[in-house]
């Protein structure tokens, strides 16, 4: 299983980093996990869009899904496809419906919506997906993907009241929300600090930790140092183009 970072910027894009988006690739599937603004370009550099198997969207905040209407236009008018599975929360579907222009049957929606919750279990090709509701102002689903005896977790956005141990043991790779530093803990920010993320990954015995969702202007090395000290091992910072093999 390979995770490709398309964008990892938190809340809004930086000059050289789109908002959140990852490609989860295995021999049997290529799944777009979140599609924040700006992620379609890097996605096309990574795969042929004809090979995209499905899309999973973790929640309805715009930095995690607003490239979806643009991707829909690609498949409706330029590289025509149909029946592409799309998984997301009920709130995200309502927002997507609100911005989708419904045309004739000749330009029908290329996506097939599937509403998911924390209780959902989804099989996409050779990938098994499970979910957990995080600590965030809207319904937000962290995801665990298992394939071939290996596992990957993306926390999406979460505050400190949720922890990765909700997914149980055996996590080989975790991309953890580390939006801010410990100096901002306790200030009501609905995200996890680098220190908190490191602590939780250490407690859950995660094999490898990657910090993500850093807000533009953050010092990546400060996040790395804080997360690594709490995790007890080296921590990567998610950057566009990074590939993590599980």
Residue 106: which pLDDT band, with cuts at 50, 70 and 90?
Answer: low
Q: Provide the b/e sequence for 190-201 (b: ≥16 CB within 10 Å).
A: bbbbbbbbbbbb
Return the CATH number at 209: 3.60.15.10
Q: Over the chain, what is the mean pLDDT?
A: 96
The Cβ of residue 114 has, within 10 Å, a number of other Cβ atoms equal to 14
pLDDT in tens, 83-99: 999 999 999 999 999 99
Task: State in Å, rounded, how far the first CA of the chain is from the last one.
Answer: 5
Check: CB of residue 157 under 8 Å from CB of residue 147.
Answer: no
How many distinct structural domains can be found in the chain?
1
pLDDT, tens only, 25-56: 999 999 999 999 999 999 999 999 999 999 99
Range of the domain at 167: 2-245
Which tokens sit at 162? 């949720």
For residue 101, what pLDDT band results from cuts at 50, 70 and 90?
A: confident
Place of tokens 């921590």: 235
Q: Residue 203 above 80 pLDDT?
A: yes
- In DSSP notation, 147-209 reads ETTEEEEE--S--TT--GGGG-S---EEEEE--B-GGGTTS--SS-BHHHHHHHHHHTT-S-E
């Amino acid at each position: 299983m390979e995770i490709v970072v398309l964008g990892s910027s938190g809340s809004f894009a930086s000059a050289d980093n789109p908002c959140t988006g990852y490609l989860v690739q295995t021999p049997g599937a290529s799944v777009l996990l979140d599609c924040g603004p700006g992620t379609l370009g890097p996605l096309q550099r990574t795969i042929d869009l004809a090979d995209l198997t499905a899309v999973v969207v973790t929640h309805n905040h715009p930095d995690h899904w607003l490239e979806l209407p643009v991707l829909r236009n690609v498949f409706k008018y330029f590289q025509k496809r149909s029946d592409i599975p799309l998984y997301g929360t009920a709130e995200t579907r309502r927002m997507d419906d609100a911005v989708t222009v419904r045309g004739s049957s000749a330009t029908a929606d290329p996506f097939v919506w599937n509403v998911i919750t924390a209780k959902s279990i989804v099989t996409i090709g050779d990938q098994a997906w499970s979910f957990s509701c995080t600590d965030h102002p809207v319904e937000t689903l962290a995801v665990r993907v298992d394939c071939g005896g290996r596992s990957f977790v993306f926390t999406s956005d979460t505050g400190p009241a949720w922890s990765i141990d909700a997914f149980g043991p055996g996590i080989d790779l975790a991309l953890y929300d580390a939006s801010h530093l410990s100096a901002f803990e306790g200030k009501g920010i609905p995200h996890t600090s680098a220190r908190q993320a490191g602590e939780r990954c250490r407690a859950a015995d995660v094999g490898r930790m990657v910090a993500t969702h850093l807000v533009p202007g953050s010092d990546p090395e400060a996040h790395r140092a804080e997360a690594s000290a709490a995790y007890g091992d080296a921590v990567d910072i998610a950057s566009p183009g990074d590939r993590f093999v599980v």
